[in-house]
Amino acid sequence: MMWSRAVSTLSGNDDKHQGALACFLMTLLPILSLGVALGYQGQHPEYFAASLILLLLWLGFTLLRGYGGGFVLPRSGVVTTLFLFWIWQGLSISWSVAPYISLLNFWEIGSLPLIFLIWKLAPSQQLWKQLFLLVQCLGVALALYALYQKMGLEQDPRSFFSTRNSHAAFLNLIALAGMGGCIHSLTKGRLAWSASIGHGLALFLLAFSVFTTGSRGATLALLIGSAFVLWPNRKAVPPYASLTVLLLLVLAYALTDFNGVVSERLSSLSEPGSAGTSRYVIWKPAWQLLLDAPWLGIGAGTFWLVYPAYRDVTDTSAGSHVHNDYLELALETGVPGLGLFILFLLAVFIIYRRAMRHGDAGVGLRLEMSGLFAGLMATALHSFFSFNLYILPIMMLVGLVLARLHQLATDIRPSGHFLLQPARRFTPLGYRLIIVCGMLLPAFYLLGTGLSQHQWEQSQRYLQKGEIQAALKALGGIPFYAPGAYVARNEEARIYTALMQFEADMPVERRTSYYHESARLLARAKINNPLSPQTYFYRGRLAQTAPELVGERWREQARDAYVEALRIDPRFYLARMAYARLLLEQKEQNKALAVLKAGGEYPYKPRIPLLGYYQLLAERLRAAGDIRGAEQIEVRHRGVVSRFVAAGSQKPPAD
């Protein structure tokens, strides 16, 4: 019945089959896009590209369908602040320290306003129940997979996400957004017993999976969000319905906490000084970074590039995010960017509050709006201690939930609107051409991003096979697809330098050609990303490999390159080793030891080159008579080896 109404609304003057196809596509495209986005997680840009291309197809299809009937765009504070924030994100690309990175982040965070826009433009908004049912099924599948990871594989329960916190935040949003529907189905008694069982089972599994992660922030966000659903509706809902939901949450928590681990983690919040140590050690240098560029920021998505120079010695995190979205937004997009985002959050609260106070809102609508708002609020609260705004699937789901909440709230309390009627200004053919061309430009950019990853993986496979020229050809094609891909240029320069180093009988002409090509590639990589320490490291290696081509000042050039690499990232021990060896060649033993010792205090991830660094540092300490210091470094060396032996690996992974 529900599907038939949606088909009827979408079909308009078209036949029923065309309406059914439109209904199917408008449900399939968003859920496919969301599912594909799970594969991205900052590591596989081909999934990022595919997910956003699906969104563009959804947008293009929606725009083409609306040619005759036109579009009604709401005029509200939510719409204004959301798109002003996105525009500011786009403007920040122009002053970013790495525009290529900021452009990627613009599309990642932009998935929220993009989905919101598509939903508001849709000729029919009757498909929410079908779409959200698929979202719930996806959430339950992820919850079950994470439980299998925890109980069957004894791994971190994070499903396809990079961290368990992100996994929990995603499930929180689904659980809370569907909680209102769960309570409403319970109020109908036997008339909706099958819906009640389905909603209840989904809520239980989602909550159980969230509690299983042990994430303090996500657990508190779920509990606070649940209170925001139950308390405002306490008088309108039968007590047994609210108690049933509470019992499901309590049961999920009790089954998770049978060994007391979750309670122990939550109780640690009573001592915020110790509970938040891992966050404070990031927030302090991040705050200093904000003070250095408060108004414009450093550019969207570039924190991880600038952070190493500010990073605390005791920080053991990955260094990718601040673990506080508001602080990260401020330092990347400046105070104006943060201000616009806070205004957006305030506008969402105001539109929700006004709708809830309106007398025409029935129990079902109030419950649904409460659940949707609680999901958004839980995500916003959790973002004080995580990086939800930088996770593509979470941003996409926030866009869907926000669009539905805005739809319900404006239906209850209508706001102003803009009426767009393309049929009055464009011919059908002209309109189609405009839409298709408008979609092709970002689609080509995203397609290039995905193809560049394919080229990169192909080059690495060629390298493993020893097919050097084929690898160079694959790397050389990457800038065609992604002009800002500095990593590919660094890798190509590294290979040319290695060929010059290990082929002793290389003809002079070829050696000269390789040198100039490497220098050109590194110069271009520096333009694309001036904060990549690898670029300067490879410049130093190139100067040491071809001193006859650099000139008399090759040592100074190599030294300056290594110093700059270490200034950008003091934990870059490959540059530290190379710099120390250069100093040893010049008989500067004391300075070489000082350079090596300066990196010895940092925590490192186990890698093959790290063993070489520890070995060189221990040797120089012994040569200087510091036997105790050398023994301490040797203990670290043995610790790295033993970790991989215990894990069943003969050697740690290479960098």
Place of tokens 């002009």: 483
pLDDT of residue 436: 93
Does residue 505 have a pLDDT over 80? yes
Statement: residue 18 has pLDDT above 90: no
Distance between CA atoms of 629 and 631, rounded to whole angstroms?
Answer: 5
Q: What are phi and psi of 37, to 5 degrees?
A: -60, -25
pLDDT score recorded for residue 3: 42
Q: What would the DSSP string read from start to end of 158-191?
A: -TTSSSHHHHHHHHHHHHHHHHHHHHHHHHTGGG
Place of tokens 């995500």: 379
Which residues lie closer than 8 Å to 327 by C-beta, 6 or more apart? 283, 286, 287, 290
What percent of the chain has pLDDT above 90?
74
> Distance between CA atoms of 304 and 322, rounded to whole angstroms?
9
- Within 8 A by CB and 6+ apart from 254, the residues are none
User: 584: pLDDT confidence band, cut at 50, 70 and 90?
Assistant: very high
CA angle in degrees (0–180, nearest 5) for 374-375-378: 80
What is the torsional sign of CA 102, 296, 394, 28? negative
416 phi and psi, to 5 degrees? -65, 165
Token pair 């681990």: residue: 261
- What was the pLDDT predicted at 8? 43
Q: Look at residue 4 in the predicted model and tell me its pLDDT.
A: 45
For residue 7, pLDDT beyond 60: no
Residue 624 tokens read as 């200087």
**How far apart are alpha carbons 533 and 568 in whole angstroms?**
6
pLDDT on residue 262:
67
What is the identity of the amino acid at 184? H
The yes-or-no verdict on residue 564 having pLDDT over 80 is yes
Q: What is the pLDDT of residues 347-405, one digit of tens each?
A: 999 999 999 988 777 899 999 999 999 999 999 999 999 999 999 999 999 999 999 99
Q: Taking 60 as the threshold, does the pLDDT of residue 274 lie above it? A: no
CATH placement of domain 485-569: 1.25.40
Do residues 225 and 172 make contact, with C-beta atoms less than 8 angstroms apart? yes
Judged on CB neighbours under 10 Å (0-12, 13-18, 19+), 552 is exposed
Mean pLDDT for the stretch of residues 125-134:
85
What pLDDT was estimated at residue 227?
95
Mean pLDDT on 12-37 = 78
Say if residue 14's pLDDT is above 90.
no
Lowest mean pLDDT among 32-36, 93-97, 150-154, 269-273: 269-273
Residue 10 confidence (pLDDT): 44
Residue 26's pLDDT band, with cuts at 50, 70 and 90, is confident
The token pair that represents 354 in the structure block: 């006004």
Greater confidence (537 vs 256) lies with 537
Res 37 pLDDT > 80: yes
Provide the terminal-to-terminal Cα distance of the chain, rounded to the nearest Å.
57
Work out the pLDDT band at 74, boundaries 50, 70, 90.
confident
Name the band, by pLDDT with cuts 50, 70 and 90, for residue 12.
very low
CA 86 – CA 425 distance, rounded (Å)? 28
* Number of Cβ atoms within 10 Å of the Cβ of 304: 17
Q: Classify each residue of 409-447 as buried b or exposed e, where b means 16 or more C-beta atoms within 10 Å of its C-beta.
A: bbebeeeeeeeeebeeeeeeeebeeebeeebeebbebbb
Q: Identify which of 383, 423, 404, 408 has the alpha carbon closest to the alpha carbon of residue 12.
A: 423
Neighbouring CB atoms inside 10 A of 331's CB total: 28
Contact (CB, 8 A) for 576 and 598: yes
| CATH 1.25.40 boundaries in the chain | 485-569
SS3 call for 612: helix
CA distance 538 to 493: 7
* Among 264-273, 418-427, 430-439, 616-625, the least confident range: 264-273
